[in-house]
Structure 1
């Protein structure tokens, strides 16, 4: 369920809290193949379905960077700021890929706001701890500290 804030200041007041949990998203082989085409990373554990079934993970797995690239989708499904015209990815402070994401897995993200500082043009730079969970798994697929700039 999407959490809605009126202003960036309302969202910034949530520093130190888990602000939202995204919708579930299923990772498909088509997504993995499209990511391989876009990036040139055609390693067999991602794109050779039959070989991957006999490999170490028992199935093809998503690229770690594919999992990471879902962050904007997770944020879009979880948080809305009515008085914000845009947000831009400013970077990452740290990223860890902790568990493989088998094709067909369902993922969601938990978002904790670590910091919020004012920036130029009445914007706010927000640092998020985002844990991408795999449904039914003990450990997350990825934990990333992302930095996003949002503007009214």
Structure 2
């Protein structure tokens, strides 16, 4: 009975896209599923019409994040930010983001991220930003990301 309850809880967490604790984050997801961890969005300055969101995804089998949708903005895209010849560029990943089986794929500031464009309202520190991630194979996942300041990076490391 305990095993059935534990499996039920695990599948419920996978459906929500948010693991309950670190143990759930480190467990390998089942084939055909994707787990979501550490979802957050950066607060936007007054008047800004674009915002960035970040998340860590782990697929149980090879998959691909193909789109993001939200009622918060006119559109949402999977973006890549990179430096080339000393110039920073940002562009949409038109074919989505590959998710190799069992590997954590971190969408983070200064790298791959979710770009919300045409925000209807600002993203306010302490708020929640909701969006849906759509995958090539796994079922779509609704995400509720905390709106917060980015973590401070220690420059002495």
Q: Same fold (TM over 0.5)?
A: no
Q: Which has the higher strand share?
A: 2
